[in-house]
Amino acid sequence: MGSGKSPVGSSGGGNAPLGNGKKGKAETGGPAVEEAQMCCGCRFPLLVALLQLLLGIAIAGVAFLMMAISPSLLARETPHWAGIIMCVVSLVGLILFCITRVHDERASAQFITKLLYFLLCTVGLVISVLVIAFQCHHFALSKGLTCEEIGNDCMCTLDREDPIARTFNYSGVTDCSAIRSTLPMYNLLQMVLNLAQAIVCLVGAFMIWKHRYQVFFAGLQTGSPSAQQWQKV
């Protein structure tokens, strides 16, 4: 009879550490996973926003250098507006980073900021693609121009022998080589910068979408009822 009780007691004693082990594992695993997810959600807007800020400043700086060549260049040829818009997008990303680092933030403010940042990243992606299209057109156009200096202006045409060919008058240009060589170089640089900006905006929009819609509470409760642990899927 004594030997019969021994397995029961040992079995009961064995079950107790096993249950405590499962509970301890659940308690240690849950906060670690949530902390990792929170850190990932807090860090990615900072990196993307800083890249957007740097690229926006670079795009605006190159555009102002293009405007220094000739004041008669059109706004679509000098996309400083695209760089300024990118700086605004990056500021919203930095605000989102500050909101997510505060523990007592309002859910509505965080949601509105995330939605605004997602929309601005999408708009930034469209603007970058639009600027790339304009710069490609002007780059190809400048390669076929034939220019001559007339006073302080530079008169360029696509075909000098065609009397009705389209002409371009660049005022304030003392050397037409700036139109034939320097301006295409700036166009090419704008294409590279805006391509990088489009990729960064795409990554930012994707990360916001993934963080918003691929991590949510499914309503499945795991562990003991007292722990009130919910599984994220």
Give me the tens of pLDDT residue by residue for the chain, a chain 233 residues long. 444 444 444 444 444 444 454 444 444 444 444 444 444 444 557 889 999 999 999 999 999 999 888 888 888 889 999 999 999 999 998 888 887 665 555 567 778 888 899 999 999 999 999 999 999 999 988 887 888 888 778 888 887 676 677 788 888 887 888 888 889 999 999 999 999 999 999 998 888 887 665 543 434 444 545 445 544 44
Q: Report if residue 27 sits inside a domain.
A: no
The two beta strands, 153-157 and 146-150, are antiparallel
Domains in the chain, number: 1
Place of tokens 């190809």: 140
Q: Report if residue 9 sits inside a domain.
A: no
Q: Report if residue 192 sits inside a domain.
A: yes
Q: Which two tokens stand for residue 11?
A: 């079995």
Q: Report if residue 118 sits inside a domain.
A: yes
Strand, coil or helix: 74: coil
Find all residues with CB under 8 Å of 221, minimum gap 6, and list them.
Answer: 228, 229, 230, 231
Q: Report if residue 22 sits inside a domain.
A: no
Q: Report if residue 213 sits inside a domain.
A: yes
Residue 128's identity, in one-letter code, is S
CB 169 within 8 A of CB 153: yes
Report pLDDT for 207. 85
Report pLDDT for 176. 84
Q: How far apart are CA 130 and CA 120, in angstroms?
A: 15
Phi-psi label, residue 186: left if phi above 0, alpha if psi -120 to 50, beta otherwise: alpha
Report pLDDT for 166. 79
Find all residues with CB under 8 Å of 8, minimum gap 6, and list them.
Answer: none
Range of the structural domain that residue 49 is part of: 37-144+176-232
Report pLDDT for 125. 94
Q: Report if residue 75 sits inside a domain.
A: yes
CB 27 within 8 A of CB 64: no
CB 167 within 8 A of CB 177: no
Report pLDDT for 227. 47
Q: Report if residue 32 sits inside a domain.
A: no
Q: Which two tokens stand for residue 184?
A: 């295409």
